[in-house]
Amino acid sequence: MGELREMPRIHVERDELFEWGRVWHGSEGSSRGDGQARNKRPDSFDKRQAMEFGRVFDLAFGRALAGMLSVEVVTPSASSLIPAESDCVEVGTTRVIGGIRPQNYDVAYRLDGPRVVFDSKTLNDESSIRKNWQNMINDLASEAATVHTRFPYCVVAFIAVLPKPALHGTQRRAISATLDRLGSRKDELDQHHLAESIALVIWDPTTGEIEPVRSACRPSDADGEVGLSNIHLDTMHRRIYRHYVDRYRHLPPHTG
């Protein structure tokens, strides 16, 4: 059984995001996605590209979680209600029967029921952000609630990914504030619709860089990252580790 360690940072290579930026802009010669999709609008992804882009963050989260748990990453069967191996992190469509409805997550640790579940959400152009960001918020709250109503100790995490050129200032403030509130679940007795951790990734398709999400209302987060919001990707791993340790340390398979 795996040794419990501090969770490493959730890391996505800048070069990989730069290549995806070429797809987003509609540049020729990118090694990501399906090349130039017919009828694809510039400065956007088509549906299939958006799904493949989201998997970049699924895999980054899954690898970091597996590092914390000292287990392997495996691909689940989309229809299976139990993991493919006895102790593993599953990256791919993972089904959980929640208290509201069955729900598919992108990453899960389901050792004895779901201990950690994760989903990535991408809004990939200006029109999508304008029309769909509030629907995305509703989806996150519903996904958190459906697992927490049956499994209140489960650590629920999300990453929302938006391209910087498609995001306006007022939208950014509204989305950031809402995600900050939604990702504030403190313990297993807190409200079901809240998540234990949410990260907002604002990426630049031209450079591949992720922009720091800074807090306007608090000088630092609980882990001492000065000026960084609790929804910045670089603080996410600490929140997940802290919640997991509070609920599962010294319980099998973590006997140390």
Q: Is the pLDDT of residue 81 over 60?
A: yes
pLDDT reported for residue 228: 57
CA-based nearest residue to 117, from 86, 85, 76: 76
Distance between CA atoms of residues 152 and 172, nearest Å: 30
Asked if residue 164 lies in contact with residue 172, where contact means CB atoms within 8 angstroms, the answer is: no
pLDDT reported for residue 84: 85
With a pLDDT cut of 90, the percent of the chain lying above it is 80
Tokens of 115: 């201990």
Per the model's pLDDT, the better-predicted residue between 15 and 221 turns out to be 15
pLDDT reported for residue 212: 87
Q: Is the pLDDT of residue 246 over 90?
A: yes
199 lies in which domain range? 14-248
Q: Is 80 contained in some domain?
A: yes
Q: Give me the number of domains the chain comprises.
A: 1
pLDDT in tens, 119-147: 999 999 999 999 999 999 999 999 999 99
pLDDT band at 31 (very low <50, low <70, confident <90, very high): low
Cβ neighbours of residue 242 under 8 Å, at least 6 residues apart?
none
Per the model's pLDDT, the better-predicted residue between 208 and 255 turns out to be 208
Q: Is 254 contained in some domain?
A: no
Q: Is 6 contained in some domain?
A: no
Beta-bridge mates of residue 97: 102
Q: Is 154 contained in some domain?
A: yes
pLDDT reported for residue 218: 47
Using DSSP's 3-state secondary structure scheme, residue 96 falls into strand
Tokens of 168: 């306006």
**Chain-wide mean pLDDT for the chain?**
90
Q: What is the mean pLDDT of residues 16-25?
A: 96
Q: Is 3 contained in some domain?
A: no
Q: What is the mean pLDDT of residues 31-50?
A: 74
With a pLDDT cut of 70, the percent of the chain lying above it is 88
pTM, two decimal places: 0.91
Q: What is the mean pLDDT of residues 210-217?
A: 73
Q: Is 32 contained in some domain?
A: yes
Q: Is 9 contained in some domain?
A: no
Tokens of 61: 């989260």
pLDDT reported for residue 42: 83
Q: Is 8 contained in some domain?
A: no
